Every structure is written in C-alpha cells, then in structure tokens.
Amino acid sequence: MKLTQDLVAAHPDDYYAHYYLGYIFVEMGDLTHGEAEYSRAYELWPSEDMQKKLEAVRKRRESETSKTNQPNPTLPPTVPR
C-alpha cells in the first residue's frame, strides 16, 4: 500500500498507479477510496476495461449501501413511546 501511494504521489498522472492503488483499496474492502482511484485512472486513460472496473465498484458500493440501510429482520421493530 505504502509503495503504491508513494508511486501515485511521485507520478500523479500515471493511470496505472491510480488503477493499482484502487485495486488495493477494493481488495481491502475500502470501496470509497477504491472508487476514487479507479475514477482518477479512468480520467487519465478512458479505456473500456477501466470503465468496467469503475462501474463494478460503483455497483458494489450501491449494493453494500442498500444492505446497510435495510432493517434487520431478526430485530423486532421499534415501538414509539
């Protein structure tokens, strides 16, 4: 992680450095930072492959966000007092 962050800092316009940092973030479960890095990589190199990876991370983030916003079916509903 540190090496890749240093690479991005030294070469901020290198799409592959941003792509790889995004990949690391996604593998660690940090989809917010992963999406940001994939987005920057796509800005620098708007390829179809990069677009697919960015869309996949966005879809995964949306899916995880919707899961956390749904009520837990194992808990009873709260009753207002």
| Cα–Cα distance, 66 to 33 (Å, whole number) | 18
Residue 51 carries which side chain, given as an amino acid letter? Q
pLDDT class for 68, splitting at 50, 70, 90?
Answer: confident
| Cα–Cα distance, 15 to 40 (Å, whole number) | 7
Is residue 34 within 8 Å of residue 22, measured between CB atoms?
Answer: yes
Provide the residue ranges of all domains of the chain, joining segments of one domain with +.
Answer: 2-66
pTM recorded for the entire structure:
0.79
Q: Indicate the CATH number of 2-66 among 3.60.20.10, 1.25.40.10, 3.20.20.70, 3.20.20.140.
A: 1.25.40.10
3-class state of residue 30 by DSSP: coil
Q: Give how far Cα 5 sits from Cα of 35, 46, 49, 51, 69, Å.
A: 15, 21, 22, 22, 32
Predicted confidence (pLDDT) at residue 77 exceeds the cutoff of 70 = no
- Give mean pLDDT, residues 32-43: 97
